[in-house]
Chain A
Amino acid sequence: MTGALANNKKHGKTYLRRIVENRQMYLFLILPLIWLIIFKYGPMYGAQIAFKNYRPADGIWGSQFVGLEQFRKFFDSVYFSRTVGNTVVLSLYSIVVGFPIPIIFALLLNSVRSKKWKSAIENVTYMPHFISVVVMVGILMRVFDFYTGILHNLVVLMGGKWSLHVFTGDSNFRHLYIWSGVWQGTGWSSIIYMAALSAVDPQLHEAAIVDGASRWKRIFYIDLPTIIPTITITLILRCGSIMNIGFDKAFLMQNDTNMNASEVISTYVYKVGLKADSGMQFSYSTAINMFNSIINLTMISLVNSISNRINGSGMW
């Protein structure tokens, strides 16, 4: 086969010739590309209904064009500040709490000397990561159950009285959402820092011991500086998704008493779009969704260019 020597002689070959030589490679790409166009770019084509008044009978292309009216409707509604506010507040709260904890956790865990104890901690703390969102919320409802939860049982056992209705109220929702996230994610998020820490040269520690540096000092002057690049990248990425709170958990934790805090953009998009009793407003829902996607895209591009400037390495 002539392709055999392709690598050695490629300078003499035309672009077209190289395509023909690699025809088998393109064969592999056919199905994935068809899928990509239909199922990823298809919805992007469909997203034009954000600028229209979509009616199924008229189709995506044939529906009446209304310009930015759907967007204006959202900006004017009371739900604009509520959903955007809730999304940003939850996001910031989760960055402030959920970001440093895995780092501290990794730094401490890294200094544990007993191998058995260390791997016991790892095994237990990584496990909750694999629990589904539904089961996670189910576990929360069991643990904090007003009559039968373990916290209630413990308090009663010690002679106290359990009086917390954890699932009621706006501020409870936020705390529960964030801290259950910490419970579920800390171990798993620390893996990346543990990996970075394993790259620390043990000789540095030994030299520091000779110089009389305490264990705390060694964490601050040896361990922490080593993982600073990892921390920067992770933080930058995290900030890029500041307007991005996933649908599942917020939706599953919603109830009538916490709507003022739990209605985020993604749940609202679902509600006005697909929930039967609030209207199947396809165009309106798509407009809100697009507003959110555009902000997300802007944020991540911004953050990426910052990352390029600071680290010299962004995602693209």
Chain B
Amino acid sequence: MSQTVRQEPVKKKPNNKIGITRGEKVYYFIVNVILGIFFLIILVPLINIVVSSFSSPDAVGKGKVLLWPVEPNVRGYTAVFTYKGIWRAYANTIFYTVFGTILNLAMTFMAAYPLARRNLPLKKPVIMLFMFTMLFSGGMIPGYILLKNLGMLNTIWALLIPGLISVYNLIVCRTFMQNIPTDIEEAAKIDGCSDIRYFFSMVLPLSTTVMAVLSLYYAVGHWNDYFNPWLYLTKAELQPLQIILRTILIQNSFDPESVTSEEDILGNQALQDLLKYSLIIVSSAPILVAYPFVKRFFMKGVMLGALKG
């Protein structure tokens, strides 16, 4: 079929083996130029940040770095490594991400399983109860007062508990579970399998895809979370990376007590600039390193979400 179709333009231009007309050539040229420009606009700043982080403070400070490291060295990274506050914050973020994601997954699956079951009495009102919180919320201050009254301010729980279930993720999870063939469920029931056992021995093993998708969503959410720690944590020893990042990257302020390096970070503007480049890399490294391997799961998540309007 496609063979006969392809021949049509070939008749007009016998020399053209691929079978595209001149108009199409112009089209592809324009499209590739537009996409190429867009591609570069995204890539060039990223490359510049990477190569700057490997350049010398002097080259960065004098504005010499473009797309290739100038006087390559790792002084930016040693400056980051010796900055005490960053590593404590890094460890905190890893803790919040790992522990938080595990709690998120457990709660989301616990809620999604019964809500995916057909004909479960009272299912509708429970779903409505969850969905309504997507449309309306108490707000910033009532949430703050609640955590204060519960004694959760300035504890790790302030970052772990309030966001336990994202209703959007819950819907994704439920939609996925609803697509598990019901024959399996009926067969299991006839064999005397209880609902709890069915969950652990059938639903969970069949839901690894959605589990991967959701754990990535939750993990990136924890890693990048800025709002909650900003509102709920004032103790320096609990603060995650994003808070320190803001202090250094955006407010341009350095904590004298955190500087343990022999180099004079506080008095050296060029080294401060260099440190910022290295810090951007260090803080985003885990996500960017994992990205090529997990991209398809993220994209699958978009599709699963799209199924439900």
Bound Cα distance A142, B21 (Å): 45
| CB atoms of A209 and B8 under 8 A apart | yes
Chain A residues with CB under 8 A of B165: 32, 35-36
Chain A residues with CB under 8 A of B60: 148
Beta-carbon contacts under 8 Å, A1-33 to B:
1, 3-7, 10, 15, 18-19, 22, 24-29, 31-33
Q: Determine the residue in chain A with the shortest Cβ distance to B115.
A: A29
Q: Is A116 an interface residue (CB 8 A)?
A: no
Pick the contact of B133 from A25, A36, A46 — CB < 8 Å?
A36
Chain A residues with CB under 8 A of B306: 192, 195
Please indicate which of the listed interface residues B38, B44, B231, B302 has the most CB atoms of chain A within 10 Å of its own CB: B38
Bound Cα distance A72, B303 (Å): 44
Pick the contact of B189 from A6, A33, A105 — CB < 8 Å?
A6
Q: Decide: A39 near B144, CB < 8 A? Known: A142-B277, A210-B5, A214-B23.
A: no
Bound Cα distance A168, B136 (Å): 35
Q: Decide: A4 near B142, CB < 8 A? Known: A32-B165, A148-B60.
A: no
Q: Determine the residue in chain A with the shortest Cβ distance to B18.
A: A113
Bound Cα distance A39, B228 (Å): 14
Q: Is B87 an interface residue (CB 8 A)?
A: no
Q: Is B99 an interface residue (CB 8 A)?
A: no
Chain B residues with CB under 8 A of A233: 309
| CB atoms of B139 and A131 under 8 A apart | no
Contact with B along A112-137 (1 / 0, CB 8 A): 11000100110111111011111101
Chain B residues with CB under 8 A of A153: 63-66
Bound Cα distance A186, B1 (Å): 36
How many residues belonging to B are interface residues under a CB distance threshold of 8 Å? Answer: 101
| CB atoms of A286 and B32 under 8 A apart | no
Bound Cα distance A6, B119 (Å): 10
Chain A residues with CB under 8 A of B35: 105, 108-109, 112, 121
| CB atoms of B192 and A270 under 8 A apart | no
Chain B residues with CB under 8 A of A60: 145
Pick the contact of A132 from B131, B145, B224, B276 — CB < 8 Å?
B224
Q: Determine the residue in chain A with the shortest Cβ distance to B146.
A: A42
Pick the contact of B136 from A113, A156, A293 — CB < 8 Å?
A293
Bound Cα distance A165, B110 (Å): 52
B252 CB to closest chain A CB (Å) equals 9
Interface of B is mostly: helix
| CB atoms of B226 and A132 under 8 A apart | yes
Q: Determine the residue in chain B with the shortest Cβ distance to A126.
A: B295
Chain A residues with CB under 8 A of B137: 40, 43-44, 293
Q: Determine the residue in chain A with the shortest Cβ distance to B283.
A: A135
| CB atoms of A269 and B140 under 8 A apart | yes
Q: A79-87, A92-100, A308-316: which one contacts chain B?
A: A308-316
Contact with B along A139-177 (1 / 0, CB 8 A): 101110101111011101100000000000000000000
| CB atoms of B164 and A35 under 8 A apart | yes
Chain B residues with CB under 8 A of A31: 107, 110
B71 CB to closest chain A CB (Å) equals 15
Q: Decide: A183 near B42, CB < 8 A? Known: A25-B114, A215-B23, A300-B135.
A: yes
Q: Can you list 26 A-B contacts with CB-CB less than 8 angstroms, sorted by A residue number?
A: A1-B192, A18-B121, A24-B196, A26-B114, A41-B133, A43-B146, A44-B136, A44-B137, A108-B35, A109-B35, A130-B224, A132-B223, A134-B250, A137-B249, A137-B250, A142-B45, A142-B49, A150-B48, A153-B65, A183-B41, A206-B5, A209-B8, A210-B8, A273-B144, A289-B139, A289-B141
